[in-house]
Amino acid sequence: MTQSLQGTDRTAARATPELALLLDVDGPIASPVTRDVKPDIIADLVALASAGIPVIFNTGRSDAFISEQVMEPMIAAGMPADTVIHAICEKGAVWFSYTAEGPGPIHVDHQLAVPKAYGDDIRRLVAEDYSAHMFFDETKRAMVSVEQHVDVASEDYLAEQKLFDADALEIMGRHGLNAAILDHHAPGSDDTADYRLDPTIISTDIESVCLGKDLGASRAVELLAAQGITPLAWRTVGDSRTDYAMADWLHHNDHDVKHVDVRPADGVPVKPYTILTAADLDLADDVIHDDAGGAFLRSWREALSI
C-alpha cells in the first residue's frame, strides 16, 4: 500500500515538476572560449534530470554539436535509463530527444531551411576569403552558420565578421532573397525580411526569420505535453538578447517563468517577468558565461535538495 502510494506520488511529481529548465547552450552551458562543457555542469544536468526536472536545450547549434558536447558526456556520467532529454537545435528547425541508449530520430522542418544554393555560395565565400578567421559549419541542416576559429582573438574575429556579414547579405540579394542583419539592440527590426543574419560573439547565423528561441520554447512545451508533463514553473537561461524570446513566449502563453541572463553586460531589458543575473547569487559581476550558468544549476539542485 505504502509502496504503491509512493509510486503514485512519484508519478504525479514527474507530471507536474516544480521547475523545468530551458537552456541556451553556447554561453550558459558550453564555454564560448573552449566550446565544450565542464564536467561539473554535466554532473548537475544529470542530477537535475534524474530527479525529474525537465532539462531541455534550446540552441542555435546543430544536433551533431549537442550529441558530442552534451549528450555523450551526460550518458557517460551515468544518466538513468528512464530519463529523457529534449534538444531543440538550429533555433527550432531541428529537434531530437535522447536517453541513456542514445539519440532518437532527428526531426527537421525543411520548410525553415535556407536555400541550398545560397549555402553553397557562403561555403565558397568562407573558403576563398575568410578561412583564416572562421569556418563553415557543415553540421547544420536548416541554417547556415559560420563560426570563429577558437585560436583567433575575439577582437580580430569581430572585425572580420562585419566584413563577412556585409558580403553574406549582398549574396542574399544576388539570390533574390530578402534578408536583413539583426541589430543586437532591436530584435524584430527585420520583420519585413524572409531571412536574417544573426551575428553572435562567436558566429554569424543565417536563418529563416521564422526561426528563433520563441519557436524553440513552443516546441519544448509541446514535447513535454506529449509526455504528460506540465511544469509548475520554468527557468530560461541565455547569454544573448535573443534568448529573452524564450521567456517572452512562455510568459505570453501564461507559463510562470524567470529568465537568467549570464552575460548582462549588453544591458538587462525591462520585462514583465523576473530576470536573474549572477548578482542574485551574490556573485561578482565578472562571473559570466558557463561560470554563471553552472552556479545557477547548482543553486537549483540545492534549492530542490537534489
**Interface residue list for Mg ion (CB under 5 A):** 24, 26-27, 239
Question: At closest approach, how far in Å is the CB of 291 from Mg ion?
Answer: 14
Report DSSP state, residue 105.
P
Question: At closest approach, how far in Å is the CB of 239 from Mg ion?
Answer: 4
Contact 257, 247 (CB under 8 A): yes
Question: At closest approach, how far in Å is the CB of 26 from Mg ion?
Answer: 4
* Run of H or E including 122: helix 116-125
Question: At closest approach, how far in Å is the CB of 263 from Mg ion?
Answer: 8
Instruction: Quickly tell me which residue has 524553440 as its cell.
Output: 216
- Which of residues 125 and 143 has its CB atom nearest to Mg ion in the complex? 143
| Phi and psi, residue 285, nearest 5° | -60, -25
Classified as helix, coil or strand, 213 is: helix
Looking at beta carbons, which residue is closest to Mg ion? 27
- Which of residues 175 and 271 has its CB atom nearest to Mg ion in the complex? 271
Sign of torsion over alpha carbons 147, 149, 153, 159:
negative
C-alpha cell at 19: 521547475
Q: Is 152 exposed, middle or buried (0-12, 13-18, 19+ CB in 10 A)?
A: middle
- Which of residues 179 and 237 has its CB atom nearest to Mg ion in the complex? 237
C-alpha cell at 3: 509502496
Question: At closest approach, how far in Å is the CB of 272 from Mg ion?
Answer: 23
Question: At closest approach, how far in Å is the CB of 78 from Mg ion?
Answer: 27
Question: At closest approach, how far in Å is the CB of 171 from Mg ion?
Answer: 25
- Which of residues 84 and 246 has its CB atom nearest to Mg ion in the complex? 246
- Which of residues 136 and 244 has its CB atom nearest to Mg ion in the complex? 244
Sheet of strand 203-208, all strands in order from the earlier edge strand to the far edge: 134-136, 144-148, 203-208, 195-199, 179-181
- Which of residues 121 and 205 has its CB atom nearest to Mg ion in the complex? 205
Q: How far apart are CA 153 and CA 262, in angstroms?
A: 21
Instruction: Quickly tell me which residue has 549582398 as its cell.
Output: 170
- Which of residues 83 and 242 has its CB atom nearest to Mg ion in the complex? 242
Q: How far apart are CA 60 and CA 87, in angstroms?
A: 11
